[in-house]
Structure 1
Amino acid sequence: MKEKIKTITKKAGNELLSIVLTTLYFAVWFVLLMILKKLILIDYQIHFVGLSTALIGALIMAKVVLIMQYIEFEWIKKYPPIVDIAVRTFLYTLAALTVLLLEKAFEARDEYSGFWSALEHIFQHRDIYKIWASTLIIAVSLFWFNVFSILQQYLKHNEIKTLLFKTPLEEIHKFTTLRE
């Protein structure tokens, strides 16, 4: 019984760590997006606060992406990993764009006499450029998340962490020199 509790506790701890690290990853990207928006809007003397939105968005994105990692596309298994990376990045980005558009339409539904009318109007409104900018940053962040996910699957669990945080650069140079 104690072994079962230990196993469950370890799995829960690993899952929580995965959520925290993935949330931090997306938080960096989304906070960067908020900083860029703030810097652009300063020129127009518009005060912009979006830190809480970025952090909540990062948490939601992390959880959704981690859940979506369990979905396997059987037909992709025959192809190189870049196909999986491209397909997942495209699908996740499309989903994020859809959420952004629905969110803007929901916010503007009273102004345009209904949800569908507001959704249609978004494409003529100047806010569409903010949506495209956000979608672009989200797509880049998703692409690199998917790349690291494949690398983590290919390498052993701790090899990426060891390579990036513990291996001296001179050791990497020696390894690449030996391979030539």
Structure 2
Amino acid sequence: MYVDAYQLIETAAVRVMEAARAAQVPVLVNLGGSPLSDGIRSAAAGYEKLLVQTNVDDSAHAEAFTVARSLLAESNAAWVVVTVGAYGAVAVSRTDEVAAPAFPVTVRHTHCAGAAFSGGLLYGLREGWSMVGSMALGSASGTLRCARHHGAPLPTLTELEAFGWAGRVGVA
């Protein structure tokens, strides 16, 4: 289950997380750059099927792994993923640290880039792909979203395959 957990909608996000946890459904919590609040931390405490996602600005790209490690310690998630715009994304677990690149395009806007990334990431994980392969698909999806006009839909898997994302990062 995907749930936005921005500060503005925290109360609803906590309720959704509690329901998902009761049903033993894996949860991707997108903080959208917001800090991990006490409410989200409490709802997530000890839940082994938790993935936390957030973002940092391009100017803070050197801090992405530090942010991910800190959120991992705070949330005890299985994985923490941090997107970094033109610098791609990083992820950490208790045993691994991986990175996936962004792809160069002419950026028309960034609205919904995070949602496009999350969609690709979740698709790959659901298919049993590695974290880095899933992140690479997410990065390709976010990249193509940014290259389109604002009202365009998110990229389809067929469009992503035509984009050649897998060959660009060595994913079979």
Same fold (TM over 0.5): no
TM-score per shorter chain, which class? Answer: under 0.3
Query: Going by fraction, where is helix more abundant, 1 or 2?
Result: 1
Structure with the largest fraction of strand: 2
Q: Which has the higher contact order (CA 8 A, sep 6+)?
A: 1
For normalisation by structure 1, the TM-score amounts to 0.25
TM-score by length of 2: 0.25
